[in-house]
Amino acid sequence: MAVAKAKPLLLAFFLLISGAALGAVPFEGYLANGNFEERPKAPDINKTVLLGKNALPGWEIMGLVEYIHGGPQPGGMFFTVARGIHAVRLGNEASISQTIHVEPGSLYALTFGASRTCAQDEVLRVSVPPLKGDLPLQTLYSSDGGDTYAWGFIPKSDYVKVIFHNPGIQEDPACGPLLDAVAIKKLTFPRPIPGNLVKNHGFEEGPHSLENTTNGILLPPKQEDLTSPLPGWIIESLKAVKFIDSKHFNVPYGRAAVELVAGRESAIAQILRTITNQTYTLSFNIGDARNGCHGSMMVEAFADKHTLKVPFTSEGKGKFTAASFEFKATSTRTRITFFSSFYHTRIDDYGSLCGPVIDEVRVWPVR
């Protein structure tokens, strides 16, 4: 029996080594015990509190970290674990970390399920030293606790430490962010294709989609294009935008698109290399994700000093339309930006933010 169980592991190891040797498929998947379903040993936990630095298999902990079973909690609280059965909660100034092997200079994206546990201004700090970012969890984008985030980084060494930390800004020390899954994906740096100046124009290159994730992946605000989890694009808004895939949503073309879920607070941008005084055409598609997002929508597109407002009435059936306009570049660098004019929620769930879908962004010179 032991030999039979070992065969799949040996096969997986062989395929991983073969793939690495051939350079075929970049690594993608959970970190060690990334779904937290490998339970701590009995001596390493007291009720829900983990005891000791190595109490959580695969992870190193610091401070008050709780091992949570989804559902009703003592004290009348209810914790939703959207991607499994178990999760961890980080108390004030607590953290969990894991050292992983990476390729220096490559772009990686962490994907993780995270939510607040109290109605307070909770923050989750994600870091791969010296890089770090603070994710505000006050805004709930889905009402079922299924918010999933992505965060990008470029390592400088072969081994890095991935850290999730609660900086402890909320008033109640009993509160703290809940993590229920952590995965990683190696991304490629996109390049413009012939006839199109836009990098990653169809949003095909993006973060890993976790198992049991049906709400899409939130891309946090203020992400620069160099380390953005959506390669080539800047998340320059105050709120997140959502990366959606064709498996769970309607996508106009290909495997992925972007949903602008927070009105004017949710924007994406890219800086293009242009020729001064050259006229260009900017085209894109907008539509709905067939996720219950109804109503009058409008996407505003900017290129240099030019603006186009594109109205779209969504019936929630997955329709989309094309739009385009011409602009003249005034320098060798031109910023294009997209955001939604209005705020929307799903008609079947007023607690879930949604919005218009953007896909297939193209810019080419007018001859």
* pLDDT tens, per residue, the chain with 367 residues: 433 433 333 333 333 433 333 333 456 899 999 999 999 999 999 999 999 999 999 999 999 999 998 776 776 677 777 778 899 999 989 999 999 999 999 999 999 999 888 866 788 999 999 999 998 888 888 877 778 999 999 999 999 999 999 998 666 766 889 999 999 999 999 999 999 999 999 999 999 988 767 789 999 888 877 899 999 999 988 889 999 999 889 898 999 999 999 888 889 999 999 999 999 999 999 999 998 898 899 999 999 999 999 999 988 888 999 999 999 999 999 999 999 999 888 888 888 899 999 999 999 999 8
List the beta bridge partners of residue 229: none
Number of other CB atoms surrounding residue 333 within 10 Å: 12
3-state secondary structure 304-340: CCEEEEEEEEECCCCCEEEEEEEEECCCCEEEEEEEE
- Report how far residue 320's alpha carbon sits from residue 38's, in angstroms, rounded to the nearest whole number: 43
Q: Residue 173's pLDDT is what?
A: 66
Could you give all domains of the chain from N- to C-terminal order, each with its CATH number?
28-187 (2.60.120.260), 217-365 (2.60.120.260)
Element (H, E) at 285: strand 279-287
Q: What is the per-residue pLDDT across 290-338, written as a single tens digit (0 to 9) for each? A: 988 988 999 999 999 999 999 999 888 889 999 999 999 999 999 999 9
Supply φ then ψ for residue 5, to 5 degrees.
-70, -30
